[in-house]
Structure 1
Amino acid sequence: MSATIDRDGVAARVSAFPRRAADRPDLKHAAVAVCVICHDGVPALLITRRAARMRNHAGQWALPGGRLDAGETPAQGALRELEEEVGLTLPPDAVLGLLDDYVTRSGYVMTPVVCWAGEVGELTPQESEVARIHRVPVADLDVEPLLVRIPESEQPVIRLPLLGGFVHAPTAAVVYQFCQVACRGLDTRVDHLEQPVFAWR
């Protein structure tokens, strides 16, 4: 059973987490927003379905995020992407901390930025990138993942159930670590968890 999800508890657990950064200057740097909202009083994460016409990772589940601009910190980039992709503007003090960097098969170091938005109103997807915005209760995501072996890798692919299907790494790895760290206070690592082959490009 996970701990109660409130801003103070999440902030305390994330700040106490011994985060690991990936020292990979050869890769591009991106940030994603692990954004907690309160939907009808229930803590939820904002998860998007990427637009079908996007050049990369079309139609996949994702957290709001993208490549950092020059001179931008992960926190600044995550807040900018939240505003651009879903129309949610948050102040800098909405950021509670960072989770472990995740190195993607497509050549990015992804930094997850934990944010607390609380109650929010209507959100507007950026049509060129986001097909739909989902508010998924944290309790629905705080479950044991499915680990699947594939011939292309020695590491297991992580899957989390989501709306009748599955979300895969990197999003699944980040969400799983958030639940382990922010909800349960566990120092669970996910950098070894693999992406499905279709996400390697």
Structure 2
Amino acid sequence: MCPTTGPFVSGTVDDFRLLARTRLNAFPHTEVPDAPGIRRAAVLLCVVGQREGSPAVVVIKRAYRGRNAGQWGLPGGRLDEGETAEQAVLRELHEELGLTATPADLLGRLDDFPAASGFVITPFVAALPDAAELRPSPAEVHSVHLVELARLAADDVPHWVAPHAARRQPELGDAAAATIPEEVGLLQMRLGDGMTIHAPTGAMLWQFREVVLLGRDHAAVRVAHFTQPDWTQH
């Protein structure tokens, strides 16, 4: 029996796949309906096995050109005309990183995120056996980072700071961050040195962590209201 609550503790992709599918099937994700002016995009929280180390989620830093230059992100992008979100996210995964996934590799989805840029982003979750095929496109990807699931689930990763204190690589002391009430703060996912990620990407990583890795209560994990720094709104 796969647990519906509690942290993910297994070290295998197969066990993650079972847990994620179970928890995502039980998660009542929200969808943003079509409306004039809305543009659609899809991203993938892609978990891969590692030859040395535990399963990890793929995070990218975008190339220093074009839209979202130099920002942290997840594989994905805008939908082409006539394309579904599922089709788009699989295409973008291959174009950006050289990884091939099929619809059967998609384990479920999280909440649509209405970004301040005007895009509604649909996040999917997938699991692949390994990252051996990783071939990042230099035109779209500056660097690829494999964040182990244990790290993403660690207590010291999410921080809440005053919105005016956000910088591209902020490093506020823990005591300062702790004084900011969660409900009025801006989320920072501090995954490592020089790797502080805000919404929208940070919000989706946080929801993935809360829903899939930690099995938290659904009512407490909504993210559509999360504040975005000015530089992510383009």
Q: Compute the TM-score of the two structures, normalised by the length of structure 1.
A: 0.92
Query: C-alpha distance in 2, partners of 1:35/1:25?
Result: 29
* Secondary structure, aligned partner of 1:7: helix
Residue in structure 2 matched with residue 191 of structure 1 by the alignment: 224
Q: Are residues 128 and 102 of structure 1, via their aligned partners in 2, closer, same or farther at CA, if it must alter by over 3 Å?
A: same
- Would you tell me which structure has more strand in proportion to its own residues? 1
Query: C-alpha distance in 1, partners of 2:121/2:55?
Result: 24
Unaligned runs of 5+ in 1: none
Q: Compute the TM-score of the two structures, normalised by the length of structure 2.
A: 0.80
One of 193, 205, 212 as aligned partner of 1:175: 205
Q: Contact between 2:163 and 2:227, CA under 8 Å: does it hold in 1?
A: no
Matched residue count: 199
Unaligned runs of 5+ in 2: 1-5, 11-15, 166-182
Over residues 153-191 of structure 1, what are the superposed CA-to-partner deviations in whole Å (9 max), with x where a residue is unaligned?
x95321101231301111110011001111122211111
RMSD after superposition: 1.8
Q: Which piece of structure 1 moves more, 69-78 or 175-184?
A: 69-78
Query: C-alpha distance in 2, partners of 1:106/1:143?
Result: 30
Over residues 3-41 of structure 1, what are the superposed CA-to-partner deviations in whole Å (9 max), with x where a residue is unaligned?
235110111001110000112423100000110111135
Give the 5 Å matches for 1:56-95. Answer: 56-95=67-106
Displacement after TM superposition at 1:122 (Å): 3.8
* Secondary structure, aligned partner of 1:181: helix
* Corresponding position: 1:3 with 2:8: yes
Q: Are residues 189 and 132 of structure 1, via their aligned partners in 2, closer, same or farther at CA, if it must alter by over 3 Å?
A: same
Residue in structure 2 matched with residue 98 of structure 1 by the alignment: 109
Q: Contact between 1:33 and 1:113, CA under 8 Å: does it hold in 2?
A: yes
Structure 1 moving runs of 4+ over 4 Å = none
Q: Which residue identity lines up with residue 147 of structure 1 in the other structure?
A: W
* Secondary structure, aligned partner of 1:125: coil
Q: Percent identity?
A: 40
Residue in structure 2 matched with residue 51 of structure 1 by the alignment: 63
